[in-house]
Structure 1
Amino acid sequence: MKFTSLISLLFILLVPDFSWSNTVKPGSSIVLFDDKNVPIIPITSVNKHGVLILGERSIDLAGIELTSVSETLKRIIGEVYPINSAVIYTDNELARVTILGDIKQPGSYLQPKSSPVWQLNYFNTLYDHKLFEADITVIRGNSEKRLTEKSLKDVVVMDGDIYLLSLRKNTEGQKKADHEISDNESNPELHTSRNTKSLTSENNRVMMEKHTQKQTDMANQLRNLIASQNKISEKNSQKQASEKKEEALSDISLSRSHIIQPGDIVTVNLPGEEGFNNDFLIDRNGTLSLPEVGQVSLGGMSLEAAEKHIYQALSSVYLGLDKLSVLVKERRLLVTVLGFVETPGQVEMPDTGNVQTAISLAGGLKDGAQLNKLQLQRGDKIIEFNFKKYLDTGDAVMIPPLKSLDTIFVPSSPDLSSVYGQAGTDSASGIDPTEDRTAIRVFGEVIRPGSFAFVEGMTIIDALLRAGGVTRYSSVEQIRVIDDGEPILFNLKSYLDIGDLGQLPILKEGATVFVPKQVDAVNGGGRTVYVMGQVQKPGAFETGEKVSFLDVLANAGGPNRYADNSMVRILRADGNVIRFNLQEYAEGGDAKLPRVLPGDAIFIPQKSTLVDDSWLKIPTNTSVRIIGAVQKPGRYLWSEGINFMDMLSHAGGPNAKADIARVRIVSTGDNGKAISREFNLQHFIERGGNWNSLPKLSGGVTVIFPELPEDPSDNKAQWIRLSSEQAIYIMGAVVTPGRYAFSDEMGVLDILSAAQGPTEESDLTNIRIIHRNGLAPRVSRLNLVEYFETGDETLLPHVSNGDSIFIPSRNRSWVQKKSYETIRVLGSVKTTGRYDFSSDMTILDILAQAGGPTNTALVEKIIIVNTVADKNQAYTFDLVEFMKDPDLDKLPVLRAGDTIFIPDVKNTKWAYFMDIVRDAVGIVSIFALAK
């Protein structure tokens, strides 16, 4: 064996010398070896232009002599790859082998003939050999052999071999990889170099996969391989080895006799043509869409016939179709799932899937699906099956196998009405029992009457349980069953007493069960006591010598939540009425339990509730009215010990619109005169107080909770609900002027915020507040700009109810401005007029507001007139000199009420003289022209 390995190695090294050509040809396969004769990268092919692509490098080998290839590659990429030699193989020197097992892409691969088997992963990237080790089994001819670590070195590759790979973790390789990662993190340059090699190796593998020129040969070899294996399986007496080979080969999915059906995924390989070498889905019409030629119908054809059909369809557009190959990559089913599933429609599933797989892909079953009557529709044939029994037993025989284009229909349960939704519990639930004539109908004195799905072997007890059981008024001795048109009388009480299964009828499809009402449920007698009114179970109950009032009441279930326990009445058989306060007795009062006699009737009335007619039952002098902005306005029963907070809680408390600072309590005084007083509940809640300060209530009192005024911009009619003593006015340049509710805790900024703030045109330096709550109205001013600059709270005036706030606009006309608030600007400026002035402004600010001097302005003699102590005085200002030496201290001092005049050059004496000269020159020119 060692001699064979040596011969194999010499063959690999000497292959280039036996090449038929002395130069590199397109399509040649190249392998780079290191100094240990181990391949550095997988087999790589030279493209049709003679270029070898390694990672991001493109190396032109066209026309290079074979003997020079190794030196050329060493010179170009020797720094990246430790090349010892480069070997070029022809097609005849490569073996076609099949590799199956735990690898990512099982299939056909090229391997140099007579190369060692242990180098499978070096010539083709099959798995990560650093992290995994492979156990290899070789199938050659009709023999199978598992290779050991020793035999791996002796066995060489032969054409037609099949290799089964089983991977296991390489613990030492994992540790080495982790160590390399640590080194890479500490040495970025090494990390980059190794990543480059890894990327290059990966790119080479991808290039090998994309080397479609040799895929035709691969497909033919694999077809021959399958045919030979089929012959072996027929003649081979070793049945177990044959079954393993057939199972392995089935993963390739290349059976030429396979009939193409909708859902199959077909791979069409045509080397060199964009758009091919891809996967195509056979749609439900049995067609696939190919580039340039469009739809091609393949449904019902064998794979071999489909390949010929595609060849004919492409022959009118493409050349070089001799390398065309068609493979079935995966067999899938197209199934339609309809009915009571979450997402009905077509699903795509593996050919190994079943009905449960299809329903899961359709989103699963919806509540109300009837599992025992699913339907499979295949063409004109309908198969009904019990999916529920399959789920109960797991027996696959219960469900039919699926084929492409099958339709699964999931019906709804008869429990559902014709309107989508779960059926209700009363007669108005909308159940339509006519939809399923096989359903069991149960009605009468049952908890949930309705129509229910029939189940084989169903008894009347099962039907009653589906209906929730019988009610306490049912006549269980007279239950009627109509089955096959024959009425049957069933005594449930007798069955429960004896347990005789012979009395239990078995229902058939479409049976009807009726439970009548026990009309004689309440019987009279000498030992009967009647309980009526607001109890859990009113009715007639037997009494005796030792039966007390509480015993009878307990048999009736006790008072319900509507009972008025303080007003219990016992009606004697002789017509007398005995009053009894059960509430007082329960609280430990002096009340004694009344004696109950046969024939008595115990009546517990309804207490005062919020039912619409309940207020009619409450006398006015024992009730309190709570109206206005509360959750539940109305009349409420009042008694001693109930305070104001108790009554307010009974009414649900004030709502969001309530003005709890002005609660009104209206009572009746002497001579029937109404007395109204106000209570500040907000003050009591926020600041506390004595509980005795709460308003005293009594029968006939009315409590009114007023509403806060709404936004005046929304409804001006709401103003009339707010008195002027409770409001403050805000007008002028604000977003929402109007009347606003005001309290002592609020200030001027609160009012401005309520009005949504000032507008852009507002003059915040001249706000006016008119105070009207004194002996005489007075006006105060507010410079809001100064307040925002300083934060001085003393600048904000105090406001109260009845006051008015006015915010003027900066764009008001000059006649609305006081002369002592402005400065006049006249003469040669862009815009003369009156301008607002403040103490921090200068003449430059005023001229800027006026648009600046004109081109003919005499800015050397600007005249300023001001008034000091009721005397006018004037002086000039030279703007040109100031610009030469801009000293702010030299600017004239301005005051509100001053006048600034900028003269014009045209109005000087020199301008008059120049006008005369121009006129004279014009006359002389005219005479000269005339002459």
Structure 2
Amino acid sequence: MLKFVKIAVIAALFAALPVAAVTPSPAMIAQFQNLSPAEQQRLAKQYGIELPAGSSGSSTSQQAQPEVLAPQQVSATKERVRTALPVAPAATSGRFGMSMFNADVSTFAPIDNAPVAENYRLGPDDIVLLQLFGKQNSSEELKVSRNGTVSLPEIGPVNVNGLTVVQASDLIVNKVREAMIGVDAVVTMGKLRTINIFVAGEARTPGMFAVSALTNVTQALYVAGGVSEIGSLRDIQVKRNGETVAHFDLYNLLLRGDNSGDIQLKHGDVVFVAPLKATVQATGEVKRPAIYEIKSGETIDNLLSMVGGTKAGAYPQSVVLERFDSNNLRNLLNLDLTNAVNKQMSLRDGDVLTVSATSPRIEHQVTLVGAVVRPGQYSWQQGLRINDLIKSFWADLHMTADLDYALIVRETNDAGDVKVLQFALANAVNQPQSTDNIELKPRDLVLVFNYAEQAVNRTALNDYLRKEVQKRYNTSDEMRWAASEDLSSVGFNNLVQDNENRMARRASLGATDVIAGQKIVDAQLYDSQPKRAMFDQTVVGVSVGESALPDIMQQVMLKLYYDKELLNLSASFNRTELMFPLIEKLKMQARNGASPLLVRVSGEVKVPGEYPLVEGANLKHLITAASGLTESAYLGRAELTRAEGINSNSNSIEVRNIAVNLETAFSGSEVFSLQSRDRLNIFPIPDWNIERAIEIRGEVKFPGRYTIQRGEMLSDVIERAGGLSRSAFMQGVVYTRESVKERERLQLKKLTEQLRADIATKSLSEDGIKTSPQDAMLMINQLESQPPIGRLVLDVPAILAGDISADIPVEDGDLFYIPRTDYTVSVVGEVQHASSHRFKDNMTVEDYLNLAGGLRKRADEDRIYVIKANGSVVIPSAKGWFAVKTSQLEPGDAIIVPVDTEYKDSLGLWATVTQIFYQSAVALAALNSF
């Protein structure tokens, strides 16, 4: 009863999954059955509710739409400032601070209504606003005259020249209070005077400028268009009356926010931009890579402060300083910036400081890849085992995970060579004390495969590949082919084919090429060519984007085991794809004539192919790697092919074929160890294919599809079908066979090639060709598109009469069609009216031709023939058809009048072509009549 409940829960669980969901592996089902009923109910509820909503094949996150940026709106004031200046090229040197004066992004605009500082001193042309209130209310606008006075109403001139705003305000208010009893006053500043300054030196547009009296050094530089390419940002001087009154370092403002040197200018001041002296460059893993201007005595520590320090991924222990030596030649210095002494090294003009990134490799890590819920990189600790990473089948693995086969890829030396360990994942999780729960080492790679050729969320992987293709090609014509539902499978198959083509190319180079050193040259030339000839646009006319797919897939495979995005998609790779980078790695590390640690299995296994040779591998390990045997596998005998070595006499590889018994291999009574390059072939059970069948149509008592055995005869199958009906037309049987179709297909291909050659030869002859090339090629195209029938001519009456010589053994895919009795004779070809007529005993071929209106002008009267109802062809005797009586005509026959090929082009093959057309038409007409 308990077993029945378990089975019911399992059925309910998996029935709740959507149709597009993957199928759980047999091992996962077995683990589910081993759970308690309570756990089974909990999981059934969990997956029954949540999975359908999240297992859709189109559950990938919606792609974010690119944000459309509106053009930057520039105010009319800013535009006036720009257009008032001469147009100069933007800075392109990459020097830090130069972008401050970029007119395209600058937000500088003169501000006339800014608050006036209390220490501002009045001068000619300043406007003072006077507000009177009390007994008298009025507003006055007072302009400072050239002699420095303002004229107060009812009071007279008052000298304010050189006074500060506060001093002038106090003076005017006191004057008003003294002279005007009961009246008070408020003094504010109006429009300020304009001063003339001169911007000189290495400014972009030096000259004299009329600016506001509140203008400071930076505003003056903006007005002059900034600093030129050879101007200094750190040595800007303000000269007044022939003396330097201020030095301004723009880096203090940009890097520290210190504007203490940005003084307010006075009338007649000169802003002088000194020439650029020394620069250094900081590149690599720094926060603000650029070219920096330096002053005398500044050090590497000062430069690091300018660049904002190093990035988190920088490696300060290995910094390279490039500088010119005393001979003006470039020299490199390796510095450790964790050493304070090195940071105090003085900089020179032209120095380039390169801070490299730290290694992307993590020393103490293990990587989990494949059919796991949370793939990625994990911290390694002493004593870490498989069970510490994967604790639960249901929480840590996908339902498609293969619990019998997983791998650990472990580095063995500093060269990066690896060895492979195989373990049973189910034992590692369920039995922590088992040998399968292997202790991990730093940098181990754990591969968990999907069962057989399953994969999880293939849509996400295909979307990733499309994005990779779009980075190179984004036009509709180039991307139309990328709409394939399973782009990853297409790309992987193309990649595998590329590798096979490359290996075949190298293997085809002869021994003489090796002696002459040509093999290496040819191989290099071959590898430099586009990787896939069949994707060459000039050869097959495919898009340029499609030709890049194998290269893109190659890059994906190279990054699969360490790229974080691909690690998250690793469950979307099937068994063969996830194994591919490891197989390639094992091939690459086989050096100096050593064989790669690979073995191959073919035949009756779930996933035939190449697999790593693990430590202590035997036949059971290899079959488990291939997801196990198929149900048709024959356990009694398999064949192992092994390369024993080189025969010194024949200078060739000695190969030995070993018969093995899989039953004893699985039981453990016989352990057969594997070696590199072993090939295991597992045979199917003899006559296992119970789907071998023949189809019988037409006039039999029980038409249908019949399963057949090897060697069964046609007469036996007809008898099983109840025999022929009374209306069966035995002479008109159509019997087709797939193997005959294939031979006809090859013959048609050969015939079309011969026709092309004949047309080319005839067109070059003196007589030429009467038919236009277009018509000739149309005939060839029709011939190529002609489907092969694969018809066998049978003597059914003899077969049913028990004639053993007429009977044939049936094959899988055969079609036996027997029509109803036909009482007509057809006339086709070069006659006035192709038609069918009722058969009469006393009518000859000539009579039927006359009924069809007679022959046309280009009919070939000497080559008229008859296609019998059973498919055979009867040709005329020496006396011709018109001396023949009715004994050669029967119901169901077709009289064929071919075209006169001599009349057409003197191409003898045209007769063969027309005969093929007519024979195919007769057979197809018979089949379609049912």
> Which TM-score applies when normalising by structure 1?
0.24
- Could you say which structure has the larger radius of gyration? 1
Bigger RCO (CA 8 Å, 6+ sep)? 2
